[in-house]
Chain A
């Protein structure tokens, strides 16, 4: 049986994951190995993220989980009409998480979590074919969430807490397709804002229908990061009153959309667990990326996004193979929030099939090593972004994209 599962896991992994938009679903190695399911899995302090209500059902007094993933993501672009082609050279992203839970009484638990559910780091070669849309972007958002979890009885519990988000964004692109200084260096702008913060909240419930069958639901609120007085730096702008671009401040808003998750888990045949999560991410808040420059002579930058709400369907399996090893595998289908004609190269996401696998190694009573692996492969797609304009005329940026990502992750769980 163990062998069969392994083969299945690796077969899946060799086929095709990641999340739509700039959502990065890497909030726990145990959950990720099971297709990032977890809203109804009572397993570890990863529940601080997946379902705070479940914390109270943990057997442990203390449970601490920490981990890091290495995100190796690649985007290839080509335009068969002109032969233009590009490959991103994005740095390896290293999203982290840290969760801790403390069971104060039989019916009350506390927790705290630090995690990074949204972010994007994409780097094209400067002046590539789509450089008027993006050269590079680095978006980070760190969520800090104190949590409380209490049960009404053994069947039902509730949990939640406030979320404090601090974020940063750094984005560079060329001003248009052709503007250069005298020496032919492309005029470009970098917008940079750090320490952008706001508050949100999370609320959840866990229902134990039977000892083996759990259902859960979690809602994480929308949080809008309003960057105020960020720095806009212009480079290689010709010396001319016709191009009045000079360094200034800017305001911009970037939404971290709300996310609703419902799901179930079922333990069977003693050592097996099956989990299913359904995510709905309310991307429709992301209508436009508008950069409002303080200098009135500099036209504001409006970039239509018009994302739609999107769903993710997640499936995961866990098998307690031996006292030492727990094996996991999973799959999820991730629906892109990007609508036709809005395919911008800073987040070129189409629908994806995602395959995960991983294991936990129990090193004695208290310590676990959690490893996971995620491979996301997107179908090749012919797409365009139609909302860039020059002199009032729309200039679509078209091409074929192929994207993938592979994400090995490692974590530790310590429990008392």
Chain B
């Protein structure tokens, strides 16, 4: 019997030597992946909606889980990265409440309509995230949707009392350390060993998405006087941006700076074609007849009088043809002719004069915003089937980012990017050219193991249903770009993710 026991134990011992199969070099071993000269143990991300993981027109939990900083942090964990916390929303519906009243809209989902074609709709449901429920931070992810560059250094940006007036941000109000806290102060107070900073997008984006409704504030150094849709002065940007980099590098932290992409890279501006109006020959002919006097007499007359330049006269010509046509629009950069047209020699009736006052046709190099798709070609007055937006009713200026407006956006973003790149160079920080990368997505796309990532709205995979913010797959692509820059700059070997494992748009019929 003693022998039996002996043999049994001997047999068991053999089995227990290596119960678990071990790789020669397991990825989970310390040193398999390295952080190089960077220390990833306490990573803090600072930025706006992109950093927060905002998508589909809202912030919600699964979007936050797929934020690029969170994806990066998961990869950092292979190379010494620590815990990464986020101020998670309360649900996957997405809207915000202030004292029980909904103040931001729910997320978009892709729903199949009665016609059988899928389109983005707002998810129906009552959100449960009330911003008066303050979270106990701090959080590694300091992304605040809606924040512009100068907001990050603005005390009181997280004061819930300032939310109704627009003086404060509802997202930051949820997790600001105090009513007077600044985003950058709360970030720096965490003593990050590593940071990412992606800010400045909204400094041009709200101007662009509003079709240039705001003011280009270049030259105005007082951001407190800016409206919500204005372009931030590049010197203001440079000043606050360098403050932020100073604050984040104060304790010697390494980090990565990310530049500002072109608005023309995002489907919000590239989905609706400029010639969106289909007309048959008869309708086109009838319309041309109506505009004949305007084209052949009024415009040359005004040019001859010196009221408008010959170039503006040419720009204002209205011309339709059989096939796809450019809609008519109001352009507030044009000379307002409303009063002049009511006087001699034209003596037009007031409504007609108002219609023609700042009228032109959309040009091929204008950009029509995504939201125009729900108004173009519609008849707002059901009793007047002739009143078609884009044909007989001009498309509002807010739906079109005109060439002149695009130029202001480009000028400002180029200036911001020069600042970002220069600071990265001066501070020895990693630098990500998101502008070029997103341009590649928009022009031809990025091949991956399940297809090609493009900026095609809904189907391209990179952009969520708001047409501005990435999908999880788009964020994963962004995370890879940033990881690559970190690896290159700091001699690190942080592994990248397979972007095909990240979802795109979410399907749901309400």
Contact = CB atoms under 8 A, between A and B. Distances in A.
A391 B451 contact: yes
A238 interface: yes
Contacts of B4: 361
B28 A373 contact: no
A364 interface: no
Contact of B495 (A72, A82, A241, A357): A82
B365 interface: no
Contact of A14 (B14, B27, B504): B14
A83 B61 CA distance: 24
B94 to A, nearest CB: 10
A325 B14 CA distance: 20
B12 A408 contact: yes
Contacts of A81: 495-496, 498
A395 B508 CA distance: 26
Nearest to A321: B3
Nearest to B74: A83
Contact of A76 (B23, B61, B75, B78): B23
Interface string B5-37: 001101110110111111110111000110000
B112 A240 contact: yes
Contacts of B33: 83
A178 interface: yes
A79 to B, nearest CB: 8
Interface in B455-497: 472-473, 495-497
Given A14-B14, A83-B78, A406-B15, A177 B23 contact: no
A182 B27 contact: no
A72 B509 contact: no
Contacts of B495: 80-83
Given A380-B24, A390-B500, A184 B62 contact: yes
Interface in B379-402: none
Contacts of B118: 242
B15 A178 contact: no
B450 A393 contact: yes
B506 A180 contact: yes
Contacts of A177: 450, 500-501
B410 interface: no
A240 B508 contact: yes
Interface in B202-230: none
Contacts of B123: 182
Interface string A387-401: 000110101100010
A289 interface: no
A79 B28 CA distance: 11
A42 to B, nearest CB: 25
B414 to A, nearest CB: 35
A406 B116 CA distance: 55
Nearest to B26: A78
B508 A182 contact: yes
A87 interface: yes
12 contacts: A74-B19, A79-B27, A80-B27, A82-B496, A129-B501, A178-B501, A182-B506, A183-B62, A238-B508, A239-B507, A357-B14, A404-B20
Interface of B: 3-4, 7-8, 10-12, 14-15, 17-24, 26-28, 32-33, 61-62, 65, 75, 78, 92, 109-112, 116, 118, 123, 449-451, 472-473, 495-498, 500-504, 506-509
Q: Which 8 A-B pairs have the closest CB atoms?
A: A184-B62, A240-B507, A402-B21, A178-B503, A83-B495, A406-B15, A238-B507, A390-B450
